[in-house]
């Protein structure tokens, strides 16, 4: 099932996105997408609505240096254990919403990633049981003010600006994250290309590590790390992140007025 959030003439709603003979239809979910969704009976052609970020996260937990080649390009070694940090939920935007470069930064980078969405409250999850707490997967861009990340010595400011966490276009509950291509394009030119099978710490290990530290709640989003090839974006460009078999997340880049 593909789950999303839309803005329609009737308001904002969670939906199931289903193929029909006339294209994709957004079927309204009655309350929330967790558990077994129920439907209101209302639906819209996908062409008549606007896709929003597919989830309103309580928190966004990120994994740093989860691909060896990216750790090397950042000048470090591959970590023995997952490195975790947080982005505020106010950084989340949906497809086609502009990424806004702050005037205080001289370098804002793209970081294409696979993201997991938590489906139920959980704590101290074993890696072997992690699949049971996941609602599904979506595409993410861990936008980073690289100069500020390096200057501060910690990552909160450089990764926490509004618009610095694009998510979408939907959540796929049946996606297999074990070995999918992840690709980032800037103005159509491929800048990142790798596979999720090259993660240093897989989804199970990541959820086990994080849930030892903090309780995970329905809708929490976990960004699983970016491969090598990160680089700067400037106003007027467009960045697109594609995860094979999942979808493409595309956003224009602008400067803050």
Give residue limits of the domains in the chain. Answer: 2-52, 60-255
**Kind of pairing, strands 83-87 and 92-93?**
unpaired
- Give 41-64 pLDDT, tens digit per residue: 999 999 999 999 999 899 999 999
Fold (topology level) of 2-52? SH3 type barrels. (2.30.30)
In sequence order, what DSSP letters do the residues of 36-71 get, joined into one string? S--EEEEEEEGGGSEE--S---S-EEEEES-BHHHH
- 126-159 pLDDT per residue, tens: 999 999 999 999 999 999 999 999 999 899 999 9
pLDDT band at 10 (very low <50, low <70, confident <90, very high): confident
**Phi and psi based region of residue 181 (left: phi greater than 0; alpha: psi -120 to 50; beta: remaining):** beta
- Which helix (H) or strand (E) is 209 found in, with range? helix 203-213
Dump pLDDT digits (tens) for 68-121: 888 888 777 788 999 999 999 999 999 999 999 999 999 999 999 999 999 999
> Do 149 and 181 form a contact (C-beta atoms < 8 A)?
no
DSSP states along 4-25? EEEEETTEEEEEEEEEETTEEE
Q: Among 71-85, 122-136, 213-227, 241-255, which stretch is predicted with the lowest mean pLDDT? A: 71-85
* 3 state DSSP class of 203: helix
Backbone angles phi, psi at 40, to 5 degrees: -85, -20
Say how far apart CA 58 and CA 40 lie, in whole Å.
25
- Name the token pair of 144: 């980073």
Angle (nearest 5°) at CA 220 between 233 and 31: 115
CATH number at 60-255: 3.90.850.10
pLDDT band at 208 (very low <50, low <70, confident <90, very high): very high
């Amino acid at each position: 099932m593909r789950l999303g959030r839309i803005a329609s003439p009737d308001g904002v709603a969670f939906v199931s996105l289903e193929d029909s003979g006339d294209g994709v239809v957004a079927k309204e979910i009655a309350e929330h997408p967790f558990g077994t969704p129920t439907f209101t009976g209302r639906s819209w052609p996908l062409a008549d609505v606007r896709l929003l970020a597919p989830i309103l996260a309580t928190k966004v937990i990120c994994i740093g240096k989860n691909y060896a080649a990216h750790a090397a390009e950042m000048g470090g070694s591959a970590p023995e254990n997952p490195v975790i940090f947080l982005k505020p939920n106010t950084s989340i935007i949906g497809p086609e919403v502009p990424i806004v470069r702050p005037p205080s930064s001289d370098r804002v980078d793209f970081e294409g990633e696979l993201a997991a969405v938590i489906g139920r409250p959980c704590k101290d999850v074993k890696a072997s049981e992690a699949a049971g707490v996941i609602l599904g997967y979506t595409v993410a861009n861990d936008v980073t003010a690289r100069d500020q990340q390096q200057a501060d010595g910690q990552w909160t400011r450089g990764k926490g600006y509004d618009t610095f966490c694009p998510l979408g276009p939907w959540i796929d509950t049946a996606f297999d994250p074990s070995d999918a291509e992840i690709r980032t394009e800037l103005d159509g030119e491929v800048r990142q290309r790798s596979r999720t099978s090259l993660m240093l710490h897989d989804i199970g290990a990541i959820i086990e590590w994080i849930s030892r530290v903090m309780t995970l709640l329905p809708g929490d989003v976990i960004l699983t790390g970016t491969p090598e090839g990160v680089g700067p974006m400037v106003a007027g460009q467009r960045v697109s992140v594609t995860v094979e078999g999942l979808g493409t997340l595309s956003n224009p880049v602008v400067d803050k007025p």
